[in-house]
Amino acid sequence: CAVELHTIPLFHANGWGRPQSGVMAGLKHVMVRRFEPATVFHLIQEERATAMSLVPTMANALLIAPGAGQYDFSSLRQIHLGGAAASPELVERLEKLFGCEVMAGYGLTETAPVATSARTKGTVRYADDADRHRRRAMAGWAIPGVEIRVVDPEMRDLPRDMASIGEVVVRGDHVMDGYFKDPAGTAAVMTGGWLHTGDMAVWDQENYIHIVDRKKDIIISGGENISSIEVEKAISAHPAVLECAVVAAPDPKWGEVPAACVALKPGQKLGPEELLTFLETRIARFKLPRVVEFVEGPLPKTGTGKIVKRELREKFWQGKERRVQG
């Protein structure tokens, strides 16, 4: 019997969506009252859990927690990542710790909640482990019953070239018809049955979706669009980094520039210059953070573990009349 270990709070769309779909599939459910690494490790072993879902913040907490080697994780078959962008390095580290398949997915409350999964596709052959980790960290491709596209403002499909950035739109049987008693809100996000997600992405010939940012989190620096997620993934690849967030900071010359807020793993040391040197071979020079702040303790998060970029952005924009420059 498959056993799902539920780590996501029940007030989150994934937190209630997975149990409902699991009941239909006849799964055994194991609920975690409070997310703590030792509790998760214990329940995987004692309940012989076969699958669980994590947001990247939870995954990082498990990876740095002591005592993982004392437990038996051999029952685990799959770990699903969602709620925020995952990096190839995170997928690789989870595979090594738990010895199971790790894949990202994507969805919204409005899609009830899963729309895509980076599960293996029959037409895709991984070139090597690095290619597998890269694809498994992407949002993936549409699950059955869902249509998904990357479009321009006129709703035209963009080239599947992994370079042309557009908005993700979704249509399907379990995509919402509209917001309850909110026709104006519904009209703002629905076009001919397609839901506008507000997420910007690129896609490839296999219809794999790669989320590059939320519309509101794109950094426009000197007329160039910079994906905060791309910069965050590059920073997260440094072995000393626990978590990070990249936001727009005002700049008199460029309008906006990337500012990185970085939390280090316990006992690790890292300076701004060392980090920037590390990044120079991973991202274009104009995408390098102009501001690097190392923070003590965890970054601010929601109840589901998502980093609250609004709070981080606010301190850079204090005293400014506008929250965008140009």
Q: Mean pLDDT, consecutive 10-residue segments, the chain of 326 residues?
A: 93 86 92 96 98 94 96 98 92 98 96 95 92 96 97 98 96 96 97 96 97 92 92 97 96 94 96 98 96 94 90 88 47
Beta strand residue intervals within 13-165, DSSP E:
28-31, 51-54, 78-81, 101-107, 114-117, 141-142, 146-151
The whole-number pLDDT of residue 18 equals 86
The whole-number pLDDT of residue 27 equals 95
Q: How far apart are CA 188 and CA 229, in angstroms?
A: 25
Query: Which CATH topology does 218-317 take?
Result: GMP Synthetase; Chain A, domain 3 (3.30.300)
Query: Which CATH topology does 3-104+122-137 take?
Result: Rossmann fold (3.40.50)
The whole-number pLDDT of residue 16 equals 86
Query: Which CATH topology does 146-214 take?
Result: Luciferase; domain 3 (2.30.38)
Q: How long is the chain?
A: 326
Any idea where the domains of the chain sit in the sequence? Answer: 3-104+122-137, 146-214, 218-317
The whole-number pLDDT of residue 319 equals 74
Do residues 217 and 195 make contact, with C-beta atoms less than 8 angstroms apart? no
Matching CATH topology for 3-104+122-137 and 218-317?
Answer: no
Measured CA angle at 210 (ends 76, 121), to 5 deg? 55
The model carries a pTM of 0.85
The whole-number pLDDT of residue 15 equals 87
Q: How far apart are CA 260 and CA 149, in angstroms?
A: 31
Q: How far apart are CA 52 and CA 76, in angstroms?
A: 8
